[in-house]
Copies of this chain bind each other. A is one copy, B any other.
Amino acid sequence: MKGLMHLYTGDGKGKTTAAVGLTIRAIGNGLRVLFIQFIKEEFSGEIVILNNYPTLVDVYRCSTGFIYNEGKSLQREKIKRCLEELKLKIKKDTYDMIVFDELAIAISLGLIFRDETEELLSLINKDTEIIITGRNAPQWLIERADLVTEMKNIKHYFEKGVNARKGIEY
């Protein structure tokens, strides 16, 4: 069966958690998932659980952190190394689902280029379901995806001064 591409974008909460939920549903059906996380560098509780299923989930983090001008070239170097490793990984192994968490934001920040993304996607088996998350997805990615959900922020408690909380945001 042909794998389809999902894109979860927008400024609302729920993009990474939806990708985690899809991963959990997939492994609950015995599917194998490569869960790639860009940008984020902090501990996050979901990774603990995903790591409990090493035969079903392969977690790969490319933790550059968010971008500040002074660090951008270093972060770009790190991303380039990650992409080389990911190419080898994708060529070597077969997955039923590949999640690219925060890929859209990495593209919109100029950390990953369109041609690099397309090269990476072209290496993926045609049966593999592809899940991409991140705000500010570029138009070409929206056009390419088979499913796009915009997670639209209607209201958020961050706007009322609540900070990120362990167990909820990470």
> A47: which B residues are within 8 A, CB to CB?
28
| Complex partner residue of A28 from B19, B44, B153, CB under 8 angstroms | B44
Complex Cα distance, B124 from A52, in Å, reads 31
Given contacts A19-B21, A21-B20, A26-B45, contact A155 B166 (CB under 8 A): no
- B12 close to A149 (CB less than 8 A): yes
For window 18-39 of A, CB contacts with B under 8 Å fall at 18-22, 24-31
- A148 close to B154 (CB less than 8 A): yes
Q: How far, in Å, is A32 (CB) from chain B's closest CB?
A: 10
- A157 close to B148 (CB less than 8 A): no
- A154 close to B165 (CB less than 8 A): no
Task: Tell whether A129 is near chain B: CB-to-CB under 8 Å.
Answer: yes
Given contacts A28-B48, A46-B24, contact A149 B154 (CB under 8 A): yes
Complex Cα distance, B16 from A60, in Å, reads 24
> A167: which B residues are within 8 A, CB to CB?
25-26, 29-31, 96-97, 129
Given contacts A146-B157, A154-B142, A157-B147, contact A168 B13 (CB under 8 A): no
Task: Tell whether A113 is near chain B: CB-to-CB under 8 Å.
Answer: no
Q: How far, in Å, is A31 (CB) from chain B's closest CB?
A: 5
A168, closest chain B residue (CB): B129
Task: Tell whether A49 is near chain B: CB-to-CB under 8 Å.
Answer: yes
5 closest A-B pairs by beta carbon, nearest first, are A28-B45, A17-B21, A20-B21, A12-B149, A28-B48
